[in-house]
Structure 1
Amino acid sequence: MSEAAALRRDDVDFMRGAIHPAIQWGGEPLKSETSRTSIPIPRELATMLATDQPTIVAGAYGRPVGPWQIERAFRETRAKVAGLPAGFRFHDRRHYFASMLIASGLDVKVVQARLRHASATTTLNVYGHLFPDADETSRAAVSAVLAMRPASASTDTSPETTMP
């Protein structure tokens, strides 16, 4: 949340569609080098973030909004959004983002990079249960290879042509 509160217009590359986090709320440095990793965003989101204000998240009169103000506004808005669990937090959007990426078929390394986890192990420990069933994926892969074999290979059972 500290990064969201500190996001500045200059941190967004509107032409290339990327966010380049630089600081946390209060001008504090980011927690790690991984936190500096750029986040690609679609053109539609870049357009939504375009502002004349120096900070992206701003309150009345364009003034920057701190983490506690974001959290308070989030709690107030949460009650007005149908379907959100009562305890839905600002941080839960991150989990939603991860599950959306996984459901869209992105591999663990891409999800790791987008979440800016230091390692894929962290990503798998938290979100491993969301990745597609490996058993069905491996069955489908073997089935596809078997389907590509020539017809004579599938009917010939001599030891030279039989696959283990």
Structure 2
Amino acid sequence: MATIEPYTLASGAIRYRVRYRKPDHKPTDKRGFTTKRDAKAFAATVEVDKMRGAYVSPAAGKHLVADAAATWIADQHHLSPSTASRYRGIVDGAIAAKFGHLTLGKITRPLVRSWIAEQVDADTPAETVHKQVGVLRRILAQAVEDGRLAVNPADKVRLPAIVPAEMKFLTLEQLHALAAAAGDAAPAIWTLGACGLRLGELVGLRHADVDLEAGVLHIVRSVTLVDGKHVDGPPKGGKRRTVPLPQFVAEQLPQGRDEALVFPAPGGGYLRHGNWRTRVFDPAVTKAGLFPTEVEKVVDGKKTTVVEYDLHPHELRHTAASLAISSGANIKAVQAMLGHARASISLDRYGHLYPADVEGITGALQAMLTRPTAADCGHAVGTERKEPVSE
């Protein structure tokens, strides 16, 4: 049990010290309580936390959040280079600015909630807030595991609702128009829009991955730009997959050595996503006149209305899913083509594209429910109807 002792400061003021044993039975103390009542409350809390297995040394909470974040980042060996880079950006940016100078013991749920409110008031996108709080939650969870915090103050805090952006799907006619507008880049447009590759997977595609005889693409890598350098890694989720390659698309693919890239940059090497979009994709979208929107802008000091055309390369992946569903592919086939970890992901995103055959279900149920049964024929199932015996 803890013991409480008074002591006198040089000024003559009375303070109280709590002596107790930690869970490992080593003695320790905490001093500085101005009243015996506060000292007793602390001692009682220590005993309860020891029994619950939730004891944290008061000194442990003095560890800086910046140091805890650095330790957490260093332990994320399992992350892809792009994800690790994104997390480092969040740690060095938003989290360092708000919490880096504080000790772990200073992080409270009200403080986390106020940070979220500040982000919302500053019109920070909800997706960004979720990512930032998610990283903070992971850092504090590791601090709990390491015995530096008793509970995670970022757990189960209320976050702003994410309103999903409306997905855009090109019709087959629009995809033809975009490919035609792209000129020499038409094969890349068709590979994205008909096979459902991610842009990083397109960038890393080599001729050895193209199996013309089987009519498939082997997706074995994805190339991502991390801190200004291309990083060659596995596809998202770490799993390779095989994607159907329609003959129409196969016939447009350039030929080359097995180790060569199918879609290299103009000067050789990997395409840069941003450069390709600026140089090829966006002009093709504008030329094809896809998804026009009127936008007010200031030109030469005067407000004027201009028409802009908006389509993201990733929406060609949505288009590939839409075309596959239109061709009769079931949800498992769509999952395999896109490389989703679970069919439920594909169903959540693209399930609305499947026709709702309500009339067909209604007819089938009506036929089943009105089908004659053995009971309707005058005898029970599994029994034989007996004729009366004449006298």
> If the TM-score is normalised by the length of the shorter chain, which range does it land in?
0.7 to 0.9
Post-superposition Cα deviations, 1:102-140, rounded to whole Å, max 9, x if no partner, equal 222221111111111111110111111111114234135
Name the one with the larger strand percent: 2
CA contact (8 A) 1:14 1:47 kept: no
Post-superposition Cα deviations, 1:140-160, rounded to whole Å, max 9, x if no partner, equal 5457x67xx8xxx6xx9x813
1:66 corresponds to 2:265? no
Alignment of 1:67-146 (within 5 A): 67-72=273-278, 73-85=280-292, 86-142=309-365
Distance 2:329 2:265 in 1: 35
1:56 corresponds to 2:273? no
Deviates more, 1:4-13 or 1:68-77: 68-77
Distance 2:311 2:360 in 1: 33
Distance 2:220 2:314 in 1: 19
CA contact (8 A) 2:220 2:241 kept: no
Counterpart amino acid of residue 28 in structure 1: G
What is the TM-score with the length of structure 1 in the denominator?
0.77
Deviates more, 1:57-66 or 1:111-120: 57-66
Going from structure 1 to structure 2, the CA distance change for 1:135 and 1:49 (only over 3 Å counts) comes to same
Counterpart amino acid of residue 236 in structure 2: K
Counterpart amino acid of residue 12 in structure 1: V
State the SS of the aligned residue for 1:20.
Answer: strand
Number of the residue aligned with 1:28: 233
Distance 1:128 1:77 in 2: 29
Counterpart amino acid of residue 271 in structure 2: V
Q: Which runs of 5+ in 2 are unaligned?
A: 1-198, 224-229, 293-308, 379-391
CA contact (8 A) 1:2 1:66 kept: no
Deviates more, 1:86-95 or 1:62-71: 62-71
State the SS of the aligned residue for 2:252.
Answer: helix
Match of 1:16 among 214, 227, 232: 214
Counterpart amino acid of residue 323 in structure 2: M
Going from structure 1 to structure 2, the CA distance change for 1:62 and 1:141 (only over 3 Å counts) comes to farther
Using the TM superposition, give the Cα deviation of residue 39 of structure 1 relative to its aligned residue in structure 2, in angstroms.
0.3
Counterpart amino acid of residue 75 in structure 1: D
Distance 2:359 2:342 in 1: 26
What is the TM-score with the length of structure 2 in the denominator?
0.35
Greater RCO between the two (CA within 8 Å, min separation 6)?
A: 1
Deviates more, 1:63-72 or 1:99-108: 63-72
State the SS of the aligned residue for 2:377.
Answer: coil
Q: How many residues align?
A: 151
CA contact (8 A) 1:98 1:111 kept: yes
1:159 corresponds to 2:376? yes
Going from structure 1 to structure 2, the CA distance change for 1:140 and 1:48 (only over 3 Å counts) comes to farther
RMSD value, Cα? 2.6
CA contact (8 A) 2:207 2:255 kept: yes
Distance 2:238 2:361 in 1: 36
CA contact (8 A) 2:204 2:221 kept: yes
Structure 1 runs of 4+ off > 3 angstroms? 61-64, 82-85, 140-143
CA contact (8 A) 2:265 2:272 kept: no
Q: Which runs of 5+ in 1 are unaligned?
A: none
Distance 2:235 2:334 in 1: 20
State the SS of the aligned residue for 1:32.
Answer: helix
Instruction: Name the % identity.
Output: 29
1:5 corresponds to 2:203? yes
Name the one with the larger helix percent: 1
